[in-house]
């Protein structure tokens, strides 16, 4: 059967919740993926900010294989060595004190929101606490995560959401301040908005929100699911400004392909929120997932992944700026580190489709923005290669 025939078969069986691009990806090596016809693609998506290490990393693969041969799953009612080691490394990397492993980003958000509500409940016994989230934010597709996602289009068909969520504007401290009252238990935001359009929180805003939280004993939840794990040139994006959250969520690159996430918290929140029986998951933090986390954190250090981000990201940024200046249809470059976006004055789907036809994987963030979230091991040569293909995919008449 041809790739096209397999795609037709897929469309018979899979629920149509994605407008998929018309290729079947089969294997990967370094920063390249290959489809079932053997065609090679330079990958500037990395499974949406997941595969930081590049494909086919020998040490990572061997660590997973070794763990598979030992044991894949036990239960959270017992301890397992990979989870013990992974949790310690994650504490060291984040400076936060306690870890709960989940299976996905959305589940990490669910846990973070539950922890915040329980913290407030333990203080005053009330059951009508409020959470402030940001417009244009994205926190996932489960009900709790969707409820704090600032995109009405994603929420509306599934109303009612969980109650008492208020939306403020990212980087507008006054809009946050206005929503705070005695019921506010948490403020949640992405340190750098991803899906919402590659918008970093400004230092002033982040510090301002933190100050408001400290003043009123409100918990600051930072969603580092996309922007964390080295992508901005810091292990976690908030570390650039030293604004430490009370609760942090991580996922995506945490397991580099093995489904795993986590929420972490300070000892103070841990001592005053979730207790035995309050929260759980069958798979979360199982030996296979945690073997991945452990190895990823080791390899980040051994291979100086963050140093590479700091070296190549300014180059990507500069080349995207230059591209923007040459095309009328590109109105803005946004983002930070290896989390960049080009804002077009029109939908970008056709550009992305042409890029795929020319051997380059790109992804959008909303209809009008092309997002660049490559593996963190990308080189300057890869960036040059990407731009050459991308430029050939933007219509020549769109130049000034």
Ligand X SMILES: *Cc1c(COP(=O)(O)O)cnc(C)c1O
Select from 28, 105, 200, 284 the one that contacts ligand X (CB under 6 A).
Answer: 105
Shortest distance (Å) from residue 318 CB to ligand X: 25
Tell me how far apart the alpha carbons of residues 60 and 295 are, in angstroms, rounded to a whole number. Answer: 6
Select from 46, 67, 80, 104 the one that contacts ligand X (CB under 6 A).
Answer: 104
Give 63 or 248: the residue with its C-beta nearer to ligand X: 248
| Interaction between residue 106 and ligand X (CB under 6 A) | yes
Residue 197 tokens read as 């359009």
Question: How deeply is 119 buried, as exposed, middle or buried, from its count of CB atoms within 10 A (0-12, 13-18, 19+)?
Answer: buried
- Residues 180-219 binding ligand X (CB under 6 A) are 190, 194-195
Shortest distance (Å) from residue 256 CB to ligand X: 13
Which range touches ligand X (CB under 6 A), out of 105-113, 150-158, 329-337, 338-346? 105-113
Select from 133, 251, 365, 383 the one that contacts ligand X (CB under 6 A).
Answer: 251
* DSSP SS3 for 160: coil
Residue in this structure with the two tokens 């030293």, named with its chain if needed? 242
The count of C-alpha atoms lying within 13 angstroms of the C-alpha of 40, restricted to the half-sphere facing its C-beta, is 8
Give 12 or 17: the residue with its C-beta nearer to ligand X: 17
From the list 244, 107, 331, 89, the residue with the least C-alpha distance to 236 is 244
| Interaction between residue 228 and ligand X (CB under 6 A) | no
| Interaction between residue 226 and ligand X (CB under 6 A) | yes
Shortest distance (Å) from residue 341 CB to ligand X: 13
Which range touches ligand X (CB under 6 A), out of 52-60, 103-111, 127-135, 373-381? 103-111
Find the residue with minimal CB distance to ligand X. Answer: 105
* CB within 8 Å of 347: residues ≥ 6 apart: 367, 368
Shortest distance (Å) from residue 386 CB to ligand X: 21
Shortest distance (Å) from residue 228 CB to ligand X: 9
> How big is the chain by its Cα radius of gyration, in Å?
21
Shortest distance (Å) from residue 32 CB to ligand X: 23
Question: Could you count the other beta carbons within 10 Å of the beta carbon of residue 330?
Answer: 20
* SS3 per-residue string spanning 179-197: HCCCCEEEEEEECEECCCC
Shortest distance (Å) from residue 219 CB to ligand X: 17
Tell me how far apart the alpha carbons of residues 63 and 107 are, in angstroms, rounded to a whole number. Answer: 25
To the nearest 10 degrees (0 to 180), the angle between helices 380-393 and 349-357 is 120
| Interaction between residue 293 and ligand X (CB under 6 A) | no
Give 209 or 225: the residue with its C-beta nearer to ligand X: 225
Tell me how far apart the alpha carbons of residues 221 and 265 are, in angstroms, rounded to a whole number. Answer: 9
- Cβ–Cβ < 8 Å for 400, 326: yes
Size of the site for ligand X (CB under 6 A): 15
| Interaction between residue 129 and ligand X (CB under 6 A) | no
Residue in this structure with the two tokens 């509500």, named with its chain if needed? 117
Give 1 or 15: the residue with its C-beta nearer to ligand X: 15
Which range touches ligand X (CB under 6 A), out of 72-80, 220-228, 278-286, 382-390? 220-228
Residue in this structure with the two tokens 């009405």, named with its chain if needed? 152
**Residue 11 Cα distances to 18, 35, 342, 353, angstroms:** 11, 18, 31, 19
Select from 52, 165, 168, 225 the one that contacts ligand X (CB under 6 A).
Answer: 225
Q: Which positions are annotated as active-site residues? A: 138, 223, 252
Give 105 or 144: the residue with its C-beta nearer to ligand X: 105
- Residues 134-173 binding ligand X (CB under 6 A) are 138-140
**Residue 332 Cα distances to 44, 200, 358, angstroms:** 19, 14, 24
Residue in this structure with the two tokens 């993926």, named with its chain if needed? 33
Give 194 or 287: the residue with its C-beta nearer to ligand X: 194
Give 295 or 371: the residue with its C-beta nearer to ligand X: 371
Chain residues binding ligand X by CB under 6 A are: 104-106, 109, 138-140, 190, 194-195, 223, 225-226, 251-252
């Amino acid at each position: 059967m041809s790739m096209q025939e397999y795609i037709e078969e897929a469309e018979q069986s899979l629920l149509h919740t994605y407008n998929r691009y018309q290729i079947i990806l089969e294997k990967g090596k370094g920063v390249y993926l290959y489809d079932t016809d053997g065609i090679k693609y330079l990958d500037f998506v990395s499974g949406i900010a997941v595969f930081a290490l590049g494909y086919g990393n020998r040490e990572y693969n061997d660590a997973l294989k070794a763990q598979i041969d030992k044991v894949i799953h036990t239960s959270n009612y017992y301890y397992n060595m990979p989870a013990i080691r992974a949790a310690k490394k994650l504490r060291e990397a984040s400076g936060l004190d306690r870890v709960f492993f989940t299976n996905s980003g959305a589940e990490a958000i669910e846990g973070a929101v539950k922890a915040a509500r329980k913290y407030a409940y333990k203080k005053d016994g009330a059951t009508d606490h409020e959470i402030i989230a940001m417009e244009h934010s994205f926190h996932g597709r489960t009900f709790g995560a969707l409820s704090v996602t600032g995109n009405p289009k994603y929420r509306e068909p599934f109303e009612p959401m969980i109650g008492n969520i208020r939306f403020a504007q990212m980087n507008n401290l006054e809009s946050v301040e206005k929503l705070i009252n005695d019921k506010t238990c948490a403020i949640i935001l992405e340190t750098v908005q991803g899906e919402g359009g590659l918008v970093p929180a400004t230092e002033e805003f982040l510090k301002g929100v933190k100050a408001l939280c400290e003043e009123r004993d409100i918990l600051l939840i930072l969603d580092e699911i996309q922007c964390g794990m080295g992508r901005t040139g810091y292990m976690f994006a908030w570390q650039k400004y030293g604004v430490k959250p009370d609760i942090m969520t991580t996922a995506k690159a945490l397991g580099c392909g093995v489904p795993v996430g986590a929420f972490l918290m300070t000892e103070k929140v841990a001592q005053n929120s979730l207790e035995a029986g309050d929260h759980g998951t069958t798979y979360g933090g199982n030996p296979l997932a945690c073997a991945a986390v452990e190895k990823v954190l080791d390899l980040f250090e051994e291979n100086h992944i963050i140093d590479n981000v700091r070296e190549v990201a300014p180059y990507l940024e500069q080349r995207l700026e230059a591209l923007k200046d040459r095309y009328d249809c590109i109105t803005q470059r946004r983002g930070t580190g290896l989390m960049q976006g080009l804002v077009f004055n029109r939908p970008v789907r056709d550009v992305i489709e042409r890029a795929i036809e020319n051997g380059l994987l790109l992804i959008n963030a909303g209809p009008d923005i092309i997002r660049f979230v490559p593996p963190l091991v990308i080189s300057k040569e890869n960036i040059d290669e990407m731009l050459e293909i991308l430029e050939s995919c933007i219509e020549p008449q769109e130049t000034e």
